[in-house]
Chain A
Amino acid sequence: MSYIWTIAEQSNGKLRDVSFELLSRGRRLADKLSTKLCSVVFGGGLSDDILSELIYRGADEVYVVDDARLNNFVVETYSNILSRLIREYKPHTILAAATSSGRTLMPHVAIKVNTGLTADCTELEIEDGTNLLLQTRPAIGGNIMATIKTPNHSPQMATVRPKSSRPLPQDEARSGRIVRLAMDEGDYDSRVQELGIRTTSDGHASIEAADVVVAGGKGMKRADNFAMLRDLARRLNGAVGGTRDAVDRGWLPYPAQIGLSGKTISPKLYVCAGVSGSIQHLAGIKTSEVIVAINQDPDANIFQVADFGIVGNLFEVIPMLNEKLERHQRGDK
């Protein structure tokens, strides 16, 4: 049986968490098919020590292409290498993260190796009998869940949202094989030059990667008022985002925009204040584990998706919440 592959991601020689999240999904599929799980990594200067964590967290094999030119993601070169490896090793399934690089690499590779690709899957199963990958994803703004399969092409390919699964605990007793593969000079595409990365102070990844996201909408009234949300986010160890309204009014930068024309997030906790819950916004938060909403309007749409809602004046509720949370965290009653 051919293997299940997951595409690990690295940044400055460190593996990103999403690499481990993919392994927990891949592990289930590999076990179901009684095959091996292989993590594929491209980067420069990746030590066996670092790569071992992939094995401790579920991989049976790690295929690594280690070359300084792979330090930063450039789609053409990554796509050439991955396509060559696919032709050579013929994996059953490839899972990648729905990140800026995964969402760029996978559709490019799918064309080159002539197979289907399903974006942003929330559930992945192996179909009994056919052994095909059943890929379920939200569509039309999260209003429907479509289950998709690729019956006549191989490999089966899907991207999965970061934070949509938990990494397996590290098990240092697990053993596996790290296979170092050479890059073929022909894989290197010299047309595109990477001139560098400008990191932003907040790191926009924050809202997509954060376990807790605190967001504000039109009801926040002014940019200054986001200070109380930042305060709340800090106490909850979370990031601050907002609706399209908040971004269009200049209260927040675009990378903080949540919803159909912004980011889709799946944090463990989503707290929003002054957010009415337009269908576009809901599309971006529906997969959050727990949703808490604070809004003045009892008929606001947001309360339909809230696990806990407070109908009230956010300018009274949020400061009180901050105050009580501080006391709670200090251990006072």
Chain B
Amino acid sequence: MKIIVPIKQVPETSDVKMDKDTGTMIREGVVSVINPLDLYAIETGIELKEQFGGQVTVCTMGPPSAVKALKEAIAMGCDEGVLISDKRFAGADTWATSYTLSEAIKKFDGYDLVLTGERATDGDTGQVGPGIAAWLDLPLATYVSNITAIDRSSITVERLVEEGYQTLRMPLPALLTVVKEISNPRLPTLRGKKRARACTVPTVTAADLAVNESDIGLKGSPTKVVKIGYPKVTRGGTVVKAAGEEGVSTAVDMLLEFLTGKELI
């Protein structure tokens, strides 16, 4: 089974501090990591390979430094990585990104399944997975929480929807975007890390893909960011201390009064 996992490198946010005056994220010293939601797609790909044999190819569109994310995925157990990198790809929105990724995937040596994370934690759109499926005309299941059956030619999945879980069956090749419930991502092994260090990750450029210049990067993006604003984080609410039984009672009374004032109770 040939599996392709397109991933994204995002800024690590777990220890990010906020600038209280401007309400912005302090970016200095923030390292980049594999989009945490992509780890579930990588893990799912590796598990399917372990079950059926085959190969997991991880790819990303990004600057040369994104090779680090690919190597991390290889250290987890992916077989190979492909870096899709070119200055002309920079500034791409989800339309141009999904176009470029789908053109790159077309160049790969066939595939049965494309797996992506549900969305990236920085852009937070969840549009690239469905976009790739549309470009490649692949059957699509989003928010997949479980693969209930799979053979060489078809797959049955459960997807997380508002009412519960919807079951879909579709032929392969197909594209799935997966959610956290589907797997528990493993940590890279020492052997995996060694292999990742030793392997070379090829770079694919705009020229290699023979993509139309007007369809890639910032220029090829239908959407344009026209303004960035920084919302203040602080709401400046009331904070009361509740110590001792009386303190707790008073604090709760104040809360009930507050909620009544807001017509919430």
Partners in one complex: yes
- Measured CB to CB, the closest approach of chain B to A8, in angstroms, equals 15
Which of B36, B95, B140, B143 is within 8 Å of A117, CB to CB? B95
Question: 1/0 per residue A286-303: CB within 8 Å of B?
Answer: 100011100000100101
A309 vs B24: C-alpha distance when bound (angstroms): 22
Select from chain A the residue with minimum beta-carbon distance to B102.
A111
Counting chain A CB atoms within 10 Å of each CB, the highest count among B23, B133, B156 belongs to B133
Contacts of B260 in A (CB 8 A): 328
Please pick, from B13, B25, B234, B258, the residue contacting A260 in the complex, using a CB distance under 8 A.
B13
For window 134-182 of B, CB contacts with A under 8 Å fall at 134-135, 139-143, 145, 156, 158-171, 179-181
**B255 on interface, CB distance cutoff 8 Å:** yes
User: Which of B11, B23, B163 has its CB near the most chain A CB atoms (within 10 A)?
Assistant: B163
Which residues of A are found within 8 Å of B171, using beta-carbon distances?
Answer: 191
Give chain B residues whose Cβ lies under 8 Å from the Cβ of A303.
Answer: 237, 239
- Complex-state Cα separation, A260 to B143, whole angstroms: 15
Other-chain residue from B135, B158, B224 in contact with A149 (beta carbon distance below 8 A): B224
Cβ contacts under 8 Å, B241 to chain A:
298, 310-312
- Stretch in B75-83, B107-115, B124-132 touching the partner: B124-132
Assess the A304–B234 pair: CB atoms within 8 A: yes
Cα–Cα, bound, A257→B235 (Å): 23
B198 lies within 8 A of chain A by Cβ = no
Q: A103, A145, A195, A280: which contacts B229 (Cβ < 8 A)?
A: A145
Contact partner of A291 (CB less than 8 A), chosen from B133, B222, B235, is: B235
Listed stretches A35-43, A133-141, A169-177; interface member = A133-141
Instruction: Select from chain B the residue with minimum beta-carbon distance to A118.
Output: B223
B52-60, B203-211, B244-252: which lies at the interface: B244-252
Contact with B along A41-80 (1 / 0, CB 8 A): 0000000000000000000000000000000111110010
Verify if A31 is at the interface (C-beta below 8 Å from B).
no
Bitwise interface map of B from 251 to 265 toward A, beta carbon under 8 Å scored 1, else 0: 111111011101011
CB of A144 within 8 A of CB of B226, answer no
> Across the interface, do B162 and A99 meet the contact criterion of CB distance under 8 Å?
yes
The residues of A that contact B253 with a CB separation of less than 8 Å are 324
What residue in chain B is nearest A257 (Cβ atoms)? B180
B222–A145 CB distance below 8 A: no
Within 8 A of A (CB), among B86-102: 93-95, 98-99
State whether A304 touches B235 (Cβ < 8 A). yes
Within 8 Å by CB of B124, from A120, A189, A316, lies A120
Q: Is B51 an interface residue (CB 8 A)?
A: no
Check A100–B142 contact: CB distance below 8 A. yes
A269 within 8 A of B: yes
Contact of B248 among A150, A198, A316 (CB under 8 A): A316
- Within the complex, the shortest CB–CB distance from B220 to chain A, in Å, comes to 11
A203 touches B163 (CB 8 A): yes
Instruction: Give complex CA distance A106, B225 in Å.
Output: 19
Selected interface stretch from A87-95, A204-212, A217-225: A204-212
B228 near A144: Cβ-Cβ < 8 Å: yes
Bound complex: CA of A282 vs CA of B156, how far in Å?
35
Tell me if B259 and A269 are in contact (CB < 8 A).
yes
Which residues of chain B have a CB within 8 Å of any CB of chain A?
11, 13-14, 16, 18, 20, 23-25, 36-37, 93-95, 98-99, 121-131, 133-135, 139-143, 145, 156, 158-171, 179-181, 221-231, 233-235, 237-243, 245, 247-249, 251-256, 258-260, 262, 264-265
24 contacts between A and B (CB under 8 A): A103-B126, A103-B130, A107-B129, A108-B130, A108-B140, A140-B25, A149-B224, A192-B141, A192-B168, A194-B168, A195-B167, A196-B167, A198-B158, A200-B165, A286-B233, A292-B258, A303-B237, A304-B18, A304-B20, A304-B233, A305-B233, A306-B237, A312-B243, A317-B251
Question: Can you name 20 extra interface pairs (CB under 8 A) apart from A100-B161, A119-B94, A143-B24?
Answer: A106-B127, A107-B125, A110-B222, A111-B98, A111-B134, A115-B95, A117-B127, A141-B25, A150-B223, A152-B222, A192-B168, A199-B164, A301-B18, A304-B18, A307-B258, A308-B259, A309-B240, A317-B251, A320-B249, A328-B260
- A: residues with CB less than 8 A from B are 11, 72-76, 79, 99-101, 103-104, 106-112, 114-120, 134, 136, 138-153, 189, 191-200, 203-205, 208-209, 212, 236, 254-255, 257, 260-262, 268-269, 278-280, 282, 286, 290-292, 298, 301, 303-313, 316-317, 320-321, 324-325, 328-329
The 5 tightest CB contacts between A and B, nearest first, are A312-B242, A116-B222, A116-B223, A111-B134, A205-B162
